A and B are shown apart, each in its own frame.
Chain A
Amino acid sequence: GAVVSQHPSRVICKSGTSVKIECRSLDFQATTMFWYRQFPKKSLMLMATSNEGSKATYEQGVEKDKFLINHASLTLSTLTVTSAHPEDSSFYICSAIGLVGQSSYEQYFGPGTRLTVT
């Protein structure tokens, strides 16, 4: 149980284009999903918190117009990187919280999406 998937696993796009990353909870309903960014050999940096049916809450310094988040259902959240630039190249990871087992506080992570902007 508690499986989170991401699609695509890798994407290469040209500068100025937009790219969408999907995050799905496969075997549980995720009331809240999180989006993180991770630079090489660095820890995870929280970008935003996404609640189903409401607007995402962004962390300080994260541009909400650049990183569009939509939590359309209890199993799907999407992150769209708009007008991507090379500095947006990174490893993007989502996580989800739901009623899994005995705890509703544990976050389960997706496998990550490697974005390269050329």
Chain B
Amino acid sequence: EDQVTQSPEALRLQEGESSSLNCSYTVSGLRGLFWYRQDPGKGPEFLFTLYSAGEEKEKERLKATLTKKESFLHITAPKPEDSATYLCAVQKRNDYKLSFGAGTTVTVRA
């Protein structure tokens, strides 16, 4: 059975304190792994898609990496505006559906 597990559930950081979020997955025939950011009461905002092990993508203070079993979202020198829930999702080949993890809620204190 396909599974997507994110850890930790919640992460409290001091401004400038870098950290990483983990998304481990078990899926047969992975097409891609997606990272989204969701603010309270809003829809998810697309961040990255990773398609193959070893791939890395960056956007401002965020960097996503992918292995055959997991993905990491690194937040470098976070700011309070990086506070949000970060969602990881996987997509299988021959299917456009996304299966989401439960998310990691990040709170960055000034």
- Name the residue on A nearest B31 (C-beta): A105
Does residue A32 face the partner (Cβ distance < 8 Å to B)? yes
The total of chain B residues at the interface (CB under 8 A) is: 21
For the residues of A in contact with B, the DSSP-based class is strand
Interface string of A85-118 (1 = CB under 8 A from B): 0000001010101000001011111111010000
Chain B neighbourhood of A49, CB < 8 A:
96-97
- Residues 1-34 (chain A) with a chain B CB within 8 angstroms: 2, 4, 6, 32, 34
CA distance A52 to B102 in the complex (A): 30
Beta-carbon contact of A106 and B34 below 8 Å: yes
Give the contact stretch, choosing among A38-46, A61-69, A73-81: A38-46
Q: Quick one: given A105-B49, A106-B34, A107-B34, are A46 and B97 in contact (CB under 8 Å)?
A: yes
Beta-carbon contact of A103 and B97 below 8 Å: no
Beta-carbon contact of B102 and A32 below 8 Å: no
Chain B neighbourhood of A106, CB < 8 A:
34, 46, 49
Does residue B87 face the partner (Cβ distance < 8 Å to A)? yes
A-B contacts, 28 of them at CB < 8 A, read A2-B46, A4-B43, A6-B43, A32-B96, A34-B97, A34-B98, A43-B87, A43-B101, A43-B102, A44-B44, A44-B100, A46-B97, A46-B98, A49-B96, A93-B43, A93-B44, A95-B43, A97-B96, A105-B31, A105-B32, A105-B91, A106-B34, A107-B34, A108-B46, A109-B44, A110-B43, A112-B41, A114-B41
Chain B residues with a Cβ under 8 A of chain A: 31-32, 34, 36, 41-46, 49, 87, 91, 96-103
Chain A residues with a Cβ under 8 A of chain B: 2, 4, 6, 32, 34, 42-44, 46, 49, 91, 93, 95, 97, 103, 105-112, 114
